[in-house]
Amino acid sequence: MNAVQYAQNNRIVELMRQPAEQRDTGWVRDAVQQAILLELATLPPYLCGMWSIDATTGDSQVTRTLRTIVFDEMSHLGLACNLLTTIGGSPRIADESLVPAYPGPLPGGVRPELTVYLSGLTTESVKMYASIEEPDAPVTRAAPAAYTSIGAFYTAILDSLRASPQLITGARQVIRDMEHHGSGNSLVALTTLEEAEAAVAVIKEQGEGTSASPQNPHPAAKGEFAHYYAFLEIVHGRKLVHPVGYPDKWDFLGPVVPMPRTLPMGVVPQGGWPRTGPAAPTPEVTTLLDKVNRIYSDMLSCLEQAWHQDDPDQATELLDEAVRKMFLLRSPARELMKRPLPDGSGKNYGPEFRYVAP
């Protein structure tokens, strides 16, 4: 099964259809592996949006929002990996058949109507980001959604762990202090059901908020909104506030949230940018594209291996190397966003985030 086929399968939908009484150890491990792929799928589109912001605009509110969300998602990926190893599984992410492909649906059949793609920051791309994070019943919308959210999938995982808490062993936990990125962002050992519940709460509530409030209960800064609502502030161009006289309601009526200037990265086509024919890039662009793909692939390999180590020191070293490679992606990715496409569209290249085997 190739990456596109895997991304288009309905494994999460199938898992959610299985009766609760049949959700055994294999079900939970399979489900958490799918959750890991979901967390991974969010990073490339969010990074493309953040890196496309023109550096000359300074540290805008939108830049800070995207930076905070990217660090949250990195933490969520790590917590999901800890959740899998504590129940005896081993994360798989450095594999062409598993790595999410773009453009395409979210892994496992979550939100099948949504196509996730890589492009520069636009109002449309931010709407897509918000759709990824959307809860079943946002506090800014009266009617509940007609589909299952990522948060609902995590709730199903947690329900299964509550039914079988003995599955939690504390095996191969990777620890990293990331409190400076938010009150819930550190990678912590999940050795008990209570610790697993707390980790899932962080993942869900940072992305979706709570049923009572759009605010992030685990913020990096006071008053920070969950990802779904933070993205919608960018879409609406206004801060989310309580309307005057309505302390129990929220609406986008606050101060202006200006969209920053961006580099015009185009939408990466299926299979990546053409390497041959009339639309072939210059050798310099090809080198940059291959460089980003190589660094990204190496980063995924380091992440996967970090959670395969019995020695905590080796795991920490591999995680440190993965983080270093993450930062190395920015420069060649932004350089690509300055190189025009040969089709005269006025759009530029951008990273493909394709996995290439060693």
Q: Which tens digits make up the pLDDT trace of 187-204? A: 999 999 999 999 999 998
Q: Is residue 282 part of a domain?
A: no
Q: Is residue 334 part of a domain?
A: no
Q: pTM of this prediction?
A: 0.92
pLDDT tens digit sequence for 203-239: 988 988 776 689 888 887 888 999 999 999 999 999 9
Q: Is residue 302 part of a domain?
A: no
Instruction: Tell me the percentage of the chain whose pLDDT exceeds 70.
Output: 93
Q: What is the tally of structural domains in the chain?
A: 1
Q: Is residue 97 part of a domain?
A: yes
Residue range(s) defining the domain that contains residue 214: 3-266
What is the three-state SS of the chain?
CCHHHHHCCCHHHHHHHCCHHHCCHHHHHHHHHHHHHHHHHHHHHHHHHHHCECHHHCCCHHHHHHHHHHHHHHHHHHHHHHHHHHCCCCCCCCCCCCCCCCCECCHHHCCCCCCECCCCCCHHHHHHHHHHHCCCCCCCCCCCCCCCCHHHHHHHHHHHHHHCHHHCCCCCCCCECCHHHCCCCCECCCCCHHHHHHHHHHHHHHHHCCCCCCECCCCCCCCCECHHHHHHHHHHCECCECCCCCCCCCECCCCECCCCCECCECCCCCCCCCCCCCCCCCHHHHHHHHHHHHHHHHHHHHHHHHCCCCCHHHHHHHHHHHHHHHHHCHHHHHHHCCCECCCCCCCECCCCCCCCCC
pLDDT tens digit sequence for 227-282: 999 999 999 999 999 998 888 899 999 999 999 999 999 999 999 999 999 889 99
Q: Is residue 284 part of a domain?
A: no
Q: Is residue 333 part of a domain?
A: no
Q: Is residue 304 part of a domain?
A: no
Residue 340 confidence (pLDDT) above 80: yes
What would the mean pLDDT of 118-122 be, rounded to a whole number?
Answer: 98
pLDDT tens digit sequence for 129-173: 999 998 865 544 443 343 457 888 888 999 999 999 999 999 999
**Domain with 132 in it: what CATH number?**
1.20.1260.10
What would the mean pLDDT of 78-86 be, rounded to a whole number?
Answer: 97
